[in-house]
Structure formats: C-alpha cells, structure tokens
Structure 1
Amino acid sequence: MISNISKAELKEIKQNLPDYKKVIEQEDSLIESGKYKKIFISVFDHWLTNEEASEMIFVDENLDELKARRKKFKLVAEELYKTTNIYFWKNKRNYRMVLKKPMSYKDVLRKCDFDNLWSQSGKRYDFILPEFSAIYSEEWDWTNIIWYTDEKKIVPILKIAEMAGLNILK
C-alpha cells in the first residue's frame, strides 16, 4: 500500500529538495539555473557512440541480458528502500502533484515494474530521496539520472549503484 505523507515529511522534502516539482517536470529554466546537477548511472561503462547504441541498447531479444540489466536496477531500488525513505509522486486533477510513500518493498516493485523493463521503457518512476537531496529518475536507455544539490550527499547512492554492477557516468 502506498500512503499519504505527513506534514513533517513534506517539510523535509521541500527543505532538502527546493523546486523538486520543477526537477521532476524537467523544467528547462531550473535545469539551466545550475541549482541541480545531474549524474548518470548506466549498465554501460562509457557514453555510447551512435553505432554502439544501436547494437547495445536494444537487447530485448536476448532474455539473459535483459534479465541481468533488470536485476541491476531492481537491486538499486531494493537497497535504496532499505537505506532511506523513498517517495513517489503522481499528478492529480488540475496538474496538482501529490507525494506518496511506499509502505513496503512490494509497493516499490509494483510502481517500478522491473519485470517489464525493456530497452525503450522509461519515465515510469522517480524516487524522491530527501535524505540525499536527490531525485533518482528512470530513463529509457538503460541509463538513469540522479538529480542532486550536494555531491557529498549522493555518495551512498553511487555506492549502491556500483555494488549493483552499474556504472557512474558524468
């Protein structure tokens, strides 16, 4: 079950992640302001060339490789859930963003749907991580983004990603 958050939790989120809504919506003006920086975690150990991308991103027919990639991102989600409070968001009527907190790891799995992750899926979830002053966003190409305000605070996230077998790309 996913529950509503308390006023204290909302206050912590707003304090540690100013303008978090604009980050989630990837509003250009906020991104250009430099308030948030981004770092990438990926199954790849380098930025792919166009030629490499067409060969290495689309592995949907290779079930073993697909499962291995899914497992890495799933492990990140599991370790983050064990380590800190995770919050999700959703839009309600009139584009009102509402934050929710998963009450169990099963809630996280349901939201992320790792068993259906494939080369072109993405943008299904963001983890709002106030303790780390970060937002972890799923992308489509086996590379996710960590938006952050303080690089020192995201060190635990980067360690989790590396432990899961993912690579850090800047």
Structure 2
Amino acid sequence: MMSNISKAEIKEIKRNLPDYKKIIEQDDSYIENGNYKKIFISVFDHWLTNEEASEMIFVDENLDELKARRKKFEIVAEELYKATDIYFWKYKRNHRMVLKKPMDYKDVLRKCDFDNLWSQSGRRYSLILPEFSAIYSEEWDWTNIIWYTDEKKIVPILKIAERAGLNILK
C-alpha cells in the first residue's frame, strides 16, 4: 500500500528536483534547457547498432535471458529502496500529479512489476529520488534513464547499477 506524503517531503522533493513534473512528463522544451542531465543504465555494454538491436533487444522467447535481465533491474530497485526514500507518481482527476511513498518493498515490486518486464515494455514507472537529486525512469529497450541535477549525488545509484550487473552508458 502506498502512503500519502507530508508537506515537508513535498518541499524536499521540489528543492532537490525543481520542475520534476516536466521531466516525468518528458517536456522536450524543458529538457532542452539543460537543467537536468541524463545518463543511461543498460543490460548492454555499448550503444547497439541497428543490426545488433534487432538481435539483442528482443529476447522474450529466451526465458532464462529474460529472467536474468529482469533480475538486474529488480536488484537496482531493491537496493535503492534500502538506500533512500523513494516516491512514485500517478495522475488523479484533471491530469493532477500526486506523489506516493511505498510503505514497504512489496509496494515497489507491485509498481515496477518486474515479472512483466519484457523487451518492449517501458515507461511504466519512475522512481523519484530526492536525496540523489534524481529521477530513475524505466525505458523500453533494456535501458533506463537517470535524470539528475548533480552528478556527484548520483554516484551511489551508478554503483548500485554496476553491482547489479548493469552498464553505464553516456
């Protein structure tokens, strides 16, 4: 079950992640202004060519590989949950974004739904990480994005990803 968050938590999020809603909504005009930078976390150790992509992204029939990839991303979420406060967002009526905090790790698992992660799923969740001044967003091609404002603050996230067997791509 997710819990509501306090005014102090909202203030902390806004202080560490100004205009976070525009990043979550992928507002191109805001992204282009450069307040946030991005770095990628991937199962791949390099950017794939078109030929490589068609061979390496779509592994949905290979259950062992699919489970191994899912597990890597799940480890990242679990370690982030242990390391810091995580917040999720969702829309309510009238396109109003609200933030919720997971009560326990099971809430994170339900929201991220790693058991249904496959080559073309994506953009189902974003982890709002105010302590790291970052937003960790799922993408569709076994590559996730960390949006950040301070590169020094995301070092723990990068270390977690590397320990999970993922690669950092810039």
The TM-score range, normalised by the shorter chain, is: over 0.9
Which residue of 1 is the match for residue 77 of structure 2? Answer: 77
Shift of 1:6: 0.3
Letter in 2 for 1:40: F
TM-score of the superposed pair, with normalisation by structure 2? 1.00
- Cα distance in structure 2, aligned partners of 1:166 and 1:6: 34
Whether 2:160 is the aligned partner of 1:160: answer yes
- Cα distance in structure 2, aligned partners of 1:29 and 1:129: 23
Which residue of 2 is the match for residue 119 of structure 1? Answer: 119
Letter in 2 for 1:74: E
Runs of 4+ in structure 1 off by over 2 angstroms are none
Q: What's the % identity of the aligned pairs?
A: 89
- Cα distance in structure 2, aligned partners of 1:72 and 1:110: 16
What does 1:142-157 align with in structure 2 at a 5 Å threshold?
142-157=142-157
Instruction: Tell me the matched-pair count.
Output: 170
- Cα distance in structure 2, aligned partners of 1:69 and 1:29: 33
Deviations 1:40-68 (CA, angstroms, capped at 9, x unpaired): 00000000000000000000000000000
Which residue of 2 is the match for residue 28 of structure 1? Answer: 28
- Cα distance in structure 2, aligned partners of 1:49 and 1:113: 29
- Cα distance in structure 2, aligned partners of 1:147 and 1:26: 11
- Cα distance in structure 2, aligned partners of 1:32 and 1:62: 38
- Cα distance in structure 1, aligned partners of 2:37 and 2:75: 24
- Cα distance in structure 2, aligned partners of 1:131 and 1:14: 11
Letter in 1 for 2:129: L
- Cα distance in structure 2, aligned partners of 1:135 and 1:150: 12
Instruction: Give the secondary-structure state (helix, strand or coil) at the position aligned to 2:32.
Output: helix
Which residue of 1 is the match for residue 90 of structure 2? Answer: 90
Which residue of 2 is the match for residue 67 of structure 1? Answer: 67
RMSD of equivalent CA atoms: 0.3
- Cα distance in structure 2, aligned partners of 1:112 and 1:34: 28
Letter in 1 for 2:166: L
Instruction: Give the secondary-structure state (helix, strand or coil) at the position aligned to 1:33.
Output: coil
Whether 2:135 is the aligned partner of 1:135: answer yes
Letter in 1 for 2:148: Y
Q: Specify every segment of 5 or more residues in structure 2 that has no aligned partner in the other structure, as ranges.
A: none
Shift of 1:30: 1.2
Which residue of 1 is the match for residue 8 of structure 2? Answer: 8
Letter in 1 for 2:128: I
- Cα distance in structure 2, aligned partners of 1:56 and 1:151: 30
Q: Specify every segment of 5 or more residues in structure 1 that has no aligned partner in the other structure, as ranges.
A: none
Deviations 1:3-54 (CA, angstroms, capped at 9, x unpaired): 0000000000000000000000010111100000000000000000000000
- Cα distance in structure 1, aligned partners of 2:112 and 2:136: 12
- Cα distance in structure 2, aligned partners of 1:116 and 1:100: 22
